Amino acid sequence: MDRWLEQPDLPARIHTLTAIECGDDCLPIYCFEIGNAKADVPTVIFTGGVHGVERIGTQVILSFMHTLFNRMDWDESLDAMLEDVRILFVPLVNPSGMLRRTRSNLNGVDLMRNAPIDATGKVPFLLGGQRLSRHIPWYRGRRDDPMEKEANAVIRMVESIVKESSFVISLDCHSGFGHQDQVWFPYAYTPDPFDDIGEMFALRLLFRRTHPTFSFYLIEPQSRNYTTHGDLWDHVYKQTLNTRKGTYLPLTLEMGSWLWIKKNPLQMFNALGVFNPVLPHRHERVLRRHQCLMEFLIRATASFRNWLPHPSDRREWMHQAIEYWY
């Protein structure tokens, strides 16, 4: 990570959201910002490394940052687009987890189960979030404790953007045991549709029609896979529903790790091999595989007025989305 800070001409504004004490180390959580800094500008937020073992999420973002930062040197069309959009990157939300090779943070808390929101109905045992022990995965933290520093810092940052910005998309990059790459949207805590389901359906159609050869993404509500307690994005979405300025679509990219494991089963025996591509050519393939989606999200955000359903058509779009997904 520090490599980015050492570049003398880094074309980004750098913010430190917070810092985590981890033994003798003090691990900052950085946010890199490019594009128009005016408060109401439409904004894309890329986050990764919420789970310390899912290194590939952080690497996908760093690789995309590398491409964009280099293009800013010579690509005038990119400069022009950055007048219309702001892009924030938080490539590593859980630095203590990544350092210690754990899913959770230093306190044993799973940051994706830590928000104060309970699932309605049944959740999968343990996986849905548990308060039994910090030594078991998916630990939510103690009831009524404040949120962990990392979760709190990200939520505060996103809330402040959503409050002022005319349109916001966030993409949180993870990897898990899927057979394909999935793009999830809220909710995780309930099978009910979220308020922006019509807008989400419009975004999906726009992506499918613009990039028909990227049909490998399965795009659906997280609750169709499983419901969980404490989802960070459910929480920040609900918190900002009444204070936000425009539409907010929080997305999660769940890269399917079975795609890599089935081609190289031996990596199951590597501590990080369950969640990350191991062989160099496959690693490189995963780094480039998602650049198109990330670029699409930036362009869709910059030009959101050209495709977002008009308020008078909202009901119709919602209806179509519910027919399709629920």
55 binds Zn ion (CB under 5 A): no
Give me the sign of the Cα torsion angle 230, 232, 237, 239: positive
By CB neighbour count within 10 A (0-12 exposed, 13-18 middle, 19+ buried), where does 102 fall? middle
The arrangement of strands across the sheet holding 43-48 comes to 13-22, 25-35, 86-90, 43-48, 167-176, 247-256, 182-185, 218-221
In the complex with Zn ion, the residue whose CB is nearer, 27 or 112, is: 112
Q: For 300-304, which contacts have Cβ atoms below 8 Å and span 24 or more sequence positions?
A: 300/169, 300/203, 300/206, 300/207, 301/42, 301/43, 301/44, 301/85, 301/167, 301/168, 301/169, 302/42, 302/81, 302/84, 302/85, 303/84, 304/42, 304/166, 304/167, 304/247
Q: Where does this chain touch Zn ion (CB under 5 A) — which range of 49-57, 62-70, 90-98, 291-299?
A: 49-57
Please give the Cα distance from 296 to 253 (Å, whole number): 14
Candidates 174, 204, 235, 290; binder of Zn ion (CB under 5 A) is 174
Nearer to Zn ion, 63 or 257 (CB): 257
Least distance (Å) from Zn ion to the CB of residue 252?
8
Residue ranges in 25-44 that form contacts with Zn ion under rule CB under 5 A: none
Q: Quick one: 227 or 247, whose CB is closer to Zn ion?
A: 227
Whichever of 16 and 180 has its CB closer to Zn ion, that residue is 180
Question: Least distance in Å: CB of 173 to Zn ion?
Answer: 9
| Residue 51 beta carbon to Zn ion: minimum distance, rounded to whole angstroms | 4
Minimum CB distance to Zn ion smaller for 55 or for 174: 174
Q: Where does this chain touch Zn ion (CB under 5 A) — which range of 46-54, 138-146, 162-170, 260-268?
A: 46-54
| Coil/strand/helix, residue 252 | strand
Task: Establish if 113 lies at the interface with Zn ion (CB under 5 A).
Answer: no
* Residue 43 or 58 with smaller CB distance to Zn ion: 58
Is residue 51 within the footprint of Zn ion (CB under 5 A)? yes
Rounded least distance, CB 321 to Zn ion, Å: 25
* Minimal distance, residue 268 CB to Zn ion, in Å: 18
Residue nearest to Zn ion (CB): 174
Helices assigned H by DSSP within 117-271? 149-164, 197-210, 232-240, 258-261
To the nearest whole angstrom, how small is the minimum distance from the Cβ of residue 185 to Zn ion? 16
Considering beta carbons, is residue 41 or 53 the nearer one to Zn ion?
A: 53
Total binding residues toward Zn ion, as defined by CB under 5 A: 3
Enumerate residues 6+ apart whose C-beta is below 8 A from 49: 55, 57, 58, 91, 92, 93, 94, 95, 97, 98
Of 15-23, 82-90, 119-127, 168-176: span binding Zn ion (CB under 5 A): 168-176
Give the nearest distance from C-beta 322 to Zn ion in angstroms: 28
Which is nearer to Zn ion, 113 or 244 (by Cβ)? 113
Four-residue CA torsion sign, 53, 56, 61, 65: positive
Chain residues that interact with Zn ion, rule: CB under 5 A: 51, 54, 174
